[in-house]
Amino acid sequence: MSKAVPAVMITAPASGQGKSMVTAALARLHRNAGREVRVFKHGPDYLDPMVLEVASGNPVYQLHPWMTGEDECRWRLAEAAKTADLILIEGAMGLFDGDPSSADLAKLMGIPALPVIDAGGMAQTFGAIALGLASFDPELSVYQVIANKIGSPRHGDMLREGLPKGISLLGAIPRNEAMHIPDRHLGLVQPTELDNLDQQLDQAAEVLKAAGLDELPKAVPIAAAEPVKPKALLAGVRIAIAQDIAFSFIYRANTELLVAMGAELHYFSPLADSELPPVDALWLPGGYPDLHGSTLENNLPMRQAISAFYHAGKPILAECGGLVACMEEFSDKEGGVHSLLGFVPGQAAIAKRLQGLGMHSLNTKQGELRGHTFHRFTLNTSWQPLAHTEKQAGTGSEAVFSHKGLIASLFYSYFPSAPEVIAAIFKGQPLTYCNDKENTHA
């Protein structure tokens, strides 16, 4: 059985074309028109989904045939199709960049791609780029494009007239401050740090409506798919999860898996709280601890509480910024040095350029935990890694440290890719790593 739902992949010829804000504004435009809008993000990304959730009013999940698996992609889309009037998927990078690329996901799902092309400083060449995107892969459907950042109505007319047969211009978006959200070194600024995001999204929706982008895309059949039901591997396990503006890189799918496996979740703020909830395990996710070094340093009660939890040998998962918070010291971009949790010897620092980027996996006998790395951190520690992640494409890896009950790495993991591994981590059970012979964590 299948259900036909208007659906499209919002993509671009490259990063920086404006597809994130166009996706968010489209979601808000159709939501304001009374439609149920479901949005997904291709690939690993924490920040864009935060904005897309505000825009659509619904949860946003990742779709990535390698990281989440093809079956999960099909199931999440099928679940959304049950109630959605419109499904939008925001692509990653350029349309054909990466493996699997946004084009690969669009083909897998049977959904057309809708490129957003920055038309600034461009006229007839716009048509050539549209033609290239539409004809590069005959199996991919591209029948419309969006022009972004046009200079005038006449500019939009020129772009429309220059398109080849078979490709139409859905709309031409003028330059407008409502179409811009500030960003920083890892992506968009978090919605909780913006005072007027809802108002801005409404304004952006009106910009798109005036540009003629209020029509629904074609309906496509979304086939039904069965979910994988996880075992109750964490029944009765209480897990504390750090969550505030310094620790916010959390996939919804990760927390939902923990609950489905029977865990009881408790959230706390390392910035503002003075004690941990009464729990059996702790998760320190990534985020922006590098922007809040002084606050973390000065919250002595919380530092002592987490340190006591660690020294008691209880399970802790520390991912990227979570690992940085576990270090003795952190050197920020201004050169200031902050004392942090202190149970990982040495110092972390933030570099001017990316130090880790790409899809990675952690291979264990309990399963292959997939995810990614995206950071600017450097580590100087006397600890020796117990294992390393493996990069999906190219060279490079991330160190995995383990001591007492701690598992710490600059690697971000997608929990549903290996539920048995995640259950073992939060229950403090031994893992056997396949790429580092004879190594296990105690």
Q: Is the pLDDT of residue 32 over 60?
A: yes
The contacts of residue 415 (CB under 8 Å, 6+ apart) are 251, 253, 254, 257, 258, 369, 422
Mark 82-106 as b/e (b = at least 16 C-beta within 10 Å): eebebbbbbbbbbbbbbebbbbbbb
In the chain, the largest separation of any two C-alpha atoms, in whole Å, equals: 70
**How far, in Å, CA of 225 to CA of 79, rounded?**
8
- Decide: helix, strand or coil at residue 62: strand
- Positive or negative: CA dihedral 307, 311, 316, 320: positive
Q: How far apart are CA 104 and CA 87, in angstroms?
A: 17
Residue of 207, 189, 177 lying closest to 54 (CA atoms): 189
Is the pLDDT reported for residue 185 higher than 80?
no
Closest CA to 253 of 69, 108, 107: 69
When the pLDDT of each residue in the chain is averaged and rounded to a whole number, the result is 94
The total of other beta-carbon atoms located within 10 Å of residue 426's CB is: 27
User: What pLDDT shows up at residue 438?
Assistant: 41
pLDDT of residue 69: 96
Strand partners, 150: 174
Query: Where do the structural domains in the chain lie, given as residue ranges?
Result: 2-223, 238-426
Per-residue pLDDT tens digits for 135-177: 999 999 999 999 999 999 999 999 999 999 999 999 999 999 9
**Bridge partners, residue 364, by sequence:** 367, 433
- Within 10 angstroms of residue 272's Cβ, the number of other Cβ atoms is 12
Q: What is the pLDDT of residue 386?
A: 93
Q: Report residue 192's pLDDT band, with 50, 70 and 90 as the boundaries.
A: confident
Per residue in 254-297, pLDDT (tens digit) is: 999 999 999 999 999 999 999 999 999 999 999 999 889 999 99
Contact 372, 360 (CB under 8 A): yes
Strand partners, 173: 148
Fold of 238-426: Rossmann fold (3.40.50)
- Model confidence pLDDT, tens digit, residues 42-73: 999 999 999 999 999 999 999 999 999 999 99
Residue 398 binned pLDDT confidence (cut-offs 50, 70, 90): very high
- Per-residue model confidence as pLDDT tens digits over 85-94: 999 999 999 9
Token readout for 190 is: 């978090």
Phi and psi angles of residue 84, each rounded to the nearest 5 degrees, phi first: -80, 145
Q: Can you give the pLDDT at residue 352?
A: 84
pLDDT at 314 over 90: yes
**In this model, does residue 439 exceed pLDDT 60?**
no
**Matching CATH topology for 2-223 and 238-426?**
yes
Please give the CATH topology (third level) of the domain spanning 2-223: Rossmann fold (3.40.50)
pLDDT in the model for residue 440: 42
* Predicted local distance difference test score (pLDDT) of residue 166: 95
pLDDT digits (tens, 9 = 90+) for 197-245: 999 999 999 999 999 999 999 999 999 998 888 999 999 999 999 999 9
**C-alpha separations of 339 from 93, 216, 266, 311, 322 in Å:** 37, 53, 26, 18, 14
Where in the sequence numbering do the catalytic residues fall?
320
State residue 61 phi and psi, 5-degree precision.
-120, 160
